[in-house]
Chains A and B, each alone.
Chain A
Amino acid sequence: GAGVSQSPSNKVTEKGKDVELRCDPISGHTALYWYRQSLGQGLEFLIYFQGNSAPDKSGLPSDRFSAERTGGSVSTLTIQRTQQEDSAVYLCASSLFLGGTEAFFGQGTRLTVV
């Protein structure tokens, strides 16, 4: 596709349910990043992938959060047993390679946990 695509754009879920957020990076981009943006806050780094590998998972807030990437393309961020504090916009970005200077962002998935 022409840009980074994220789905769904909006997700409302009940507390305790699991959710899966999807990111389709720009074709050919090997590096992929996940960020969380809470109201009035900056972009909190969660995890990055080089290919299918995630060298640093230290940004994930808790063990309820996990992410994977398959085929060096699509990535999914899974949040298990969602809590109200998980409500935020989850942004995905990709760049041509890991040291690449420009990261292109998707429009994000707005997650609301009720």
Chain B
Amino acid sequence: QQQVKQSPQSLIVQKGGISIINCAYENTAFDYFPWYQQFPGKGPALLIAIRPDVSEKKEGRFTISFNKSAKQFSLHIMDSQPGDSATYFCAAKGNDKIIFGKGTRLHILP
């Protein structure tokens, strides 16, 4: 049973636009929600993360919005750049495991 559902599978955004990726989880035991960025041929790297007691976290152009009651969280990339083109994974940590969504392949048009 997939515990973290991520959408969309792929996303194309114009340079300068806002990229939005959504995730939903089921297990209320999750206590930490990271987003990872993966470039081709590389391992995923932590981008930004949030705990459920916070509704929003911003780091530069990247913002996580968190809705605990709906069990949903999203990543917003403002002023998207071609260098942001990568695969993004949301994840949820709980019971010592980190469970990942299936990923979103983001392509920023120059």
Binding site for B on A (CB under 8 A): 4, 31, 33, 35, 41-43, 45, 48, 50, 55-56, 91, 93, 98-99, 101-108
Contacts and interface: CB of A to CB of B under 8 A. Distances in A.
B97 A48 contact: yes
Nearest to A110: B41
B49 A101 contact: yes
B61 interface: no
Interface residues of B, number: 21
B98 A99 contact: no
Interface of B: 6, 32, 34, 36, 41-46, 49, 89, 93, 96-103
Contact of A45 (B34, B97, B101, B102): B97
Main SS class of interface, B? strand
Given A42-B100, A42-B103, A101 B43 contact: no
A43 B101 CA distance: 7
Nearest to B44: A105
B43 A56 contact: no
What are the nearest 10 A-B pairs in CB distance? Answer: A105-B43, A42-B102, A43-B100, A42-B100, A107-B43, A105-B44, A42-B103, A98-B96, A102-B46, A106-B43
Nearest to B46: A102
Given A43-B89, A105-B43, A55 B96 contact: yes
Main SS class of interface, A? loop
Nearest to B3: A45
A45 B49 contact: no
A45 B96 CA distance: 12
Given A55-B96, A102-B34, A91 B101 contact: no
A102 B96 CA distance: 12
Contacts of A45: 97-100
A59 to B, nearest CB: 8
A108 B43 contact: yes
A93 B49 CA distance: 17
Contact of B45 (A33, A50, A101, A105): A105
